[in-house]
Amino acid sequence: MDWILETRDICHSYGAMPILRGVSIAIPAERITAIVGPPGCGKSTLVDLICGYARPDSGDILFEGRSIAGLLPTQIAAAGLVRTFEQGNLYDQLTVADHLILSARNSDVSSDQPYQQWRKDSQIMKEGLRILATVGLTSAPLNTRVGTLSPWQRKRLDLALVLLEPRSLVFWEEPMQGLSEEHVERIRGRIARLRELEKTVVLTTADECHATRLADQVIDLSAVGGRTNESIGTTQISEPEYR
């Protein structure tokens, strides 16, 4: 088995409260992996550490065989690892087309390159339209502002951006959060297509049932060093949010 990502004995605390205690996991390449566990067990904290938004107290993180522990998020993204957030990497003021171009260009909204130049790239837009059809997002015109999309449409746009993502590994946090049961089943079918495209995707979710049906590998974080239901108890940790 080829492992694209490994964590080795990762420990991390917020103040005096331990969150991760010796977490060691391995993520296979070109597969769908789900990291599950109850709210507060440390899923977002682990992703923060892997993606460079925080530093582990101890342990190591290997991406494609190279240590990335302590690198900046921009350095880790440049190496080929990117994340979406629970609310998605979406900007309400931008259009669907803007998001497709930004993703395909492997850029961000702080770029100095004007959007109009990107929009002239017919190859990007052709691929973007194909991906939108794949995820079932054909009802929203390309000039639709993302802020006007429904939660279900936003999830489908999230999935389209994952499909367009050129980097090696994508973390997708809570892909089914806020959806109705009908839409959960529909997005589940769309996510399953990532396997056919040989994408390496790591889902983080509290919904173990859906994760089991989706993923090639399911990792219960509470069983490998994350906080358990008993340790969470009535004490809630306010983990930092990044948008």
Going 16 to 7 to 51 to 222, the CA torsion angle's sign is negative
Confidence bin at 65 (pLDDT 50/70/90): very high
Range name among 20-24, 102-106, 157-161, 202-206 with the lowest pLDDT average: 102-106
SS3 105: coil
pLDDT of residue 97: 87
Rounded average pLDDT over 54-58: 95
Specify the CATH superfamily of domain 1-80+167-230.
P-loop containing nucleotide triphosphate hydrolases (3.40.50.300)
Confidence bin at 35 (pLDDT 50/70/90): very high
Q: What is the separation of C-alpha 233 from the centre of its chain, rounded to a whole number of angstroms?
A: 27
Q: List b or e across 203-216, with b for residues whose CB sees 16 or more CB atoms inside 10 angstroms.
A: bbbbbeebbeebbe
Confidence bin at 115 (pLDDT 50/70/90): low
Rounded average pLDDT over 14-38: 93
Percent of the chain at pLDDT > 70 equals: 83
User: What pTM was computed for the model?
Assistant: 0.78
pLDDT of residue 128: 82
Rounded average pLDDT over 139-157: 86
Percent of the chain at pLDDT > 90 equals: 35
pLDDT of residue 36: 94
Confidence bin at 242 (pLDDT 50/70/90): very low
**pLDDT above 80 for 15:** yes
pLDDT of residue 107: 45
Rounded average pLDDT over 233-241: 35
Confidence bin at 13 (pLDDT 50/70/90): very high
pLDDT of residue 62: 97
Q: Is 18 left (phi over 0), alpha (psi -120 to 50) or beta?
A: beta
DSSP H or E run through 67? strand 66-67
How much is the mean pLDDT over the chain?
81
47 or 15: which leads in pLDDT:
47
Rounded average pLDDT over 120-143: 78
**pLDDT above 90 for 26:** yes
Burial class (CB in 10 A: 0-12, 13-18, 19+), 29: middle
204 or 243: which leads in pLDDT:
204
Domain boundaries, the chain: 1-80+167-230, 91-166
